[in-house]
Structure 1
Amino acid sequence: MDYRNIYQIARESSGFTQEKAAELLNISVESLRAYEGDRRVPPDKTVIRMIELYNTQYLAYQHLKTNAEVGKAYLPDIELKDLPTAMLRLQKEVTDFIKCKDELIDITCDGIIDNQEMPRFKEILKELDDITAAIYSLKFAKPLNDRREIR
């Protein structure tokens, strides 16, 4: 199977040829090929035009997660799922957090997190990270009647 990067997958999923996409993005076909071949990273303004043309907000997330140091360091990994599965995952993650909500209040209400509380505080923050990832997964989920390739 041939490797295809995030920009190529987004373009192909929206049904554009490289030539038509380059024309509508107001860039050369050679530039688009360089972006899709991982020889160059497209500037943010070009990525914004791609997102709008290809109608895929997920490309914004992928672009930041793979090309920006802050995205690599702080954006959670997300899994793209179908809409019902994404909704169930979000519900599960929220339920998991609710189970430890009172404990978070106890740990943080005095404004001090001591060494004994810190390990559990970090575990609870991980629950919040899981909710964030589930929210993004739901945001970018595709309805079952719109089965485009998304990676």
Structure 2
Amino acid sequence: MSKKATKALNNKYYVARYNASKNNDSLTSREKSAEVLNIDRTRLSRIELGTVVPYPEEVLSMSKAYDIPELCNSYCSSDCPIGKETVKPINADSLDRLILQFLGSSKKMEDISEQLIEITADGIVDETEVAAFDAILDELERMSVNIQSLMLWAQKNRDALKEKNN
């Protein structure tokens, strides 16, 4: 890319394209990128300037073309009205940290299983068990984010791992 677009510097879609352009000349300009993505150049400009929110299929296309799978999670957890309510942001930067988080979560699994059995043994969650049940659900949510983060890291780094092992 010739120079950074100062108005778009903090836009995740611009930053993703800018970083991807370092390894792919067809992403060095909005014009070329719009062709690769099969969207209008002015629409890509508006997305990168933050004046419009991209459609899910546009984000998916960007994620694939830019080789940045975490772009989809970022869109779902921060831009999509439904996703904001249902999708947790995940971070797939550091493998050692992700492994430690996963191991910490999995150590708690046996405890959680026992608590679930105790709470649901009678087939209901009564008023005295709601707080404990909510705490279990919160921990399961954290575990889910840890697992998704580890999977995203693997997806993002799979090619590098294959090359390293060959």
Using structure 2 for the length normalisation, give the TM-score.
0.77
Larger radius of gyration: 2
Change (3 A) 1:25 1:77: closer
Aligned residue in 1 for 2:164: none
Equivalent residue letter for 1:19: E
What does residue 33 of structure 1 align with? 45
Summarize the alignment of residues 18-29 of structure 1 with structure 2, pairs less than 5 Å apart: 18-29=30-41
Unpaired runs of 5+ residues, structure 2, are 1-5, 22-26, 161-166
Q: Choose from 146, 149, 160 the match for 1:134.
A: 146
More helix by share: 2
- Cα distance change, pair 5–111 in 1 and its aligned pair in 2 (3 A): farther
Question: Percent identity at matched positions?
Answer: 30
Partner secondary structure for residue 48 of structure 1: helix
RMSD: 2.2
Of 11-20 and 115-124, the range deviating more from structure 2: 11-20
> Any runs of at least 4 consecutive aligned residues in structure 1 with deviations exceeding 3 A, and if so which?
none
2:107 pairs with 1:95: yes
Corresponding position of 2:63: 51
TM-score, structure 1 as length reference: 0.84
* Aligned equivalent of 2:12: 6
The separation in 1 between residues aligned to 2:92 and 2:146, in whole angstroms, is 9
Question: Which residue is equivalent to 2:126?
Answer: 114
For 2:96, the equivalent position in structure 1 comes to 84
Long gaps (5+) in structure 1 = 147-151
Greater relative contact order structure (CA < 8 Å, 6+ sep): 1
- Quote the residue 1:149 is aligned against: none
Relative to structure 1, is the Cα distance of residues 139 and 13 closer, same or farther in structure 2, using a 3 angstrom cutoff?
A: farther
Instruction: State the Cα distance separating 1:3 from its structure 2 match.
Output: 4.2
